[in-house]
Amino acid sequence: MPKAYVIARVTVTNPEAYAEYAKGATEAIRKYNGRPLARGGAYEALEGEARPRNVVIEFESMDAARTYYNSPEYQAAKAKRDGACIAEFVLVEGAE
């Protein structure tokens, strides 16, 4: 079964609220066995519009990633980022 990746592209508009989201998200990632591969850091736009914060989290499967995203822990964290950023989140299946 191929791994799966939650990929987020984010522009933070309220750093204090986003920091509270990040704390809760980190706990949920850990609880649901996610592995952060990229979380912020340097970036370079190669094509199209880039966002200043880019996150890639690896999970064992699409189902495991969905379980994390829909978990009460992550949803509580997500509520703290509402209005604190502009973001796109996608779930992508890895290559076998």
Q: Could you read off the pLDDT of 18-59 as tens digits, one per residue? A: 999 999 999 999 999 999 999 999 999 999 999 999 999 999
Contact assessment for residue 65 and residue 59, using Cβ atoms and an 8 Å cutoff: yes
Q: State CA 19 to chain mean position distance.
A: 13
Q: What tokens were used for 43?
A: 């970036």
Domain spans, the chain = 4-93
| Predicted pLDDT at 11 | 97
Position 4 pLDDT exceeds 90: yes
Q: How confident is the model at residue 83 (pLDDT cuts 50, 70, 90)?
A: very high
Choose which CATH entry (3.40.50.150, 3.40.718.10, 3.20.20.140, 3.30.70.100) describes domain 4-93: 3.30.70.100
| pLDDT above 70 coverage of the chain, percent | 100
pLDDT, residue 87, reads: 96
